[in-house]
């Protein structure tokens, strides 16, 4: 299994541009989520999904959209990038809402200028 994969690994955007961060898992996990990590801080939850077609907001959802059309994929969309969205983004998954262990991807480092 490849586990949780994220693309791209690095991205530079100009203010106002939009883009999609990709996340995929091949473990047939129901639960997927997106976090952002800013320098010197812990991870903050952006959005999460408990299954295909079901998404919900985390603690910092503004400026981001998600959708879950398949079990495997959970893309994160930046609608109009802002410098405040410069961060490292991590995707995570677990086999169900009640699973104890979450598996994290390697991250996408995003810079907005």
Instruction: Give the integer Cα–Cα distance in Å for 21 and 96.
Output: 23
Binding piece for other proteins, criterion CB under 8 A, among 11-19, 20-28, 65-73, 103-111: 103-111
Distance from CA of residue 44 to its chain's centroid? 11
Q: How far is the CB of 17 from other proteins (least distance, A)?
A: 25
DSSP assigned state of 86: -
Q: Does 25 bind other proteins (CB under 8 A)?
A: no
Q: Which residue among 13, 25, 35, 110 contacts other proteins (CB under 8 A)? A: 35
Q: Which residue among 33, 55, 85, 87 contacts other proteins (CB under 8 A)? A: 33
Supply the DSSP string of 12-76, one letter for each residue: EE-TT--EEEEEEESS--SEEEEEEE-TTS-EEEEEEEEETTEEEE-S--TTEEE--SSSSB--E
Q: How far is the CB of 28 from other proteins (least distance, A)?
A: 16
What tokens were used for 27? 């473990």
Q: Does 98 bind other proteins (CB under 8 A)?
A: yes
Q: Does 64 bind other proteins (CB under 8 A)?
A: no
Footprint on this chain of other proteins (rule: CB under 8 A)? 4, 31, 33, 35, 40-45, 48, 50, 58-59, 90, 92, 94, 97-98, 100-107
């Amino acid at each position: 299994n490849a586990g949780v994969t994220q693309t791209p690994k690095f991205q530079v955007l100009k203010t106002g541009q939009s883009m999609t961060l990709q996340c995929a898992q091949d473990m047939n996990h129901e639960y997927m989520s997106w976090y952002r990590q800013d320098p010197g801080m812990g991870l903050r939850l952006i959005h999460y999904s408990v299954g295909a077609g079901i998404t919900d907001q985390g603690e910092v959802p503004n400026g981001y959209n998600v959708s879950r059309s398949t079990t495997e994929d959970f893309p994160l969309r930046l609608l109009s990038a802002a410098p405040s969205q410069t961060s490292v983004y991590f995707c995570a998954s677990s086999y169900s809402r009640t699973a104890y262990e979450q598996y994290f991807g390697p991250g996408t480092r995003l810079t907005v200028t």
